[in-house]
């Protein structure tokens, strides 16, 4: 069973000067905030490989994900997913098995879902989400041809709250 409620994240690009030249990071920080306080690894979604690219700047082949961010994202889901109302309702309908968290960008949430649009899943027993049962999908992509990942509003709020503790 799946559930999804798309929302949008405050994604921006921040250019950072390094000894090797400028790097364009895709972040959850505004360029103003990044310039004022710097960036933490957990808020850097990834890096643009060619920030001067004339065609599709945010194409998956022009993006390198940040493993620290991906691990952070899944930790937030693992910690807070069990309290998300949509997930709890889906678990009750499921009764037993697994409830999968589907990326809000997917075009077919109730049909065949591309592997890169499944964030992960929680085990369900007797309609209850089993704490600590979350399994991240290694095939999920934070950026696909359909854009950047989209989270349930509750998970998005928790992600941003958790990021605030690093700043």
Residue 55: pLDDT band with limits 50, 70, 90:
confident
Q: Residue 93: what pLDDT? A: 95
For 42, the token pair is 């957990």
- The torsion region of residue 47 among left (phi > 0), alpha (psi -120 to 50) and beta comes to beta
Q: Please, are residues 30 and 38 in contact by the beta-carbon 8 Å criterion?
A: no
Mean pLDDT for the chain overall: 91
Residue 18: pLDDT band with limits 50, 70, 90:
confident
Q: How many domains does the chain have?
A: 1
pLDDT digits over 63-122, tens only? 999 999 999 999 999 999 999 999 999 999 999 999 999 999 999 888 899 999 999 999
Domain ranges, residue 41: 2-164
Q: Residue 78: what pLDDT? A: 97
pLDDT digits over 29-42, tens only? 988 888 888 999 99
Res. 45: pLDDT tops 60: yes
Distance CA(25)–CA(15), nearest Å, equals 6
Residue with the larger pLDDT of the pair 5 and 66 = 66
Q: Residue 133: what pLDDT? A: 98
């Amino acid at each position: 069973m799946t559930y999804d409620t798309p929302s949008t994240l405050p994604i921006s690009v921040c250019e950072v000067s390094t000894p090797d030249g400028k790097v364009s990071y895709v972040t959850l920080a505004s360029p103003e905030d990044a310039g004022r306080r710097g960036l933490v690894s957990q808020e850097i979604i990834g890096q643009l490989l060619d920030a001067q690219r004339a065609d599709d700047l945010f194409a998956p082949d022009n993006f390198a994900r940040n493993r620290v961010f991906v691990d952070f994202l899944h930790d937030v889901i693992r910690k807070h997913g069990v309290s998300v109302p949509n997930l709890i309702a889906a678990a009750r309908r499921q009764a037993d098995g697994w409830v999968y968290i589907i990326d809000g960008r997917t075009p077919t949430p109730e049909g065949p879902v591309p592997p890169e649009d499944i964030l992960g899943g929680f085990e369900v027993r007797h309609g209850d989400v089993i704490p600590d049962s979350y399994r991240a999908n290694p095939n999920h992509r934070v950026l696909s041809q359909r854009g950047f990942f989209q989270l349930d509003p509750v998970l998005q709020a928790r992600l941003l709250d958790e990021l605030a503790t690093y700043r």
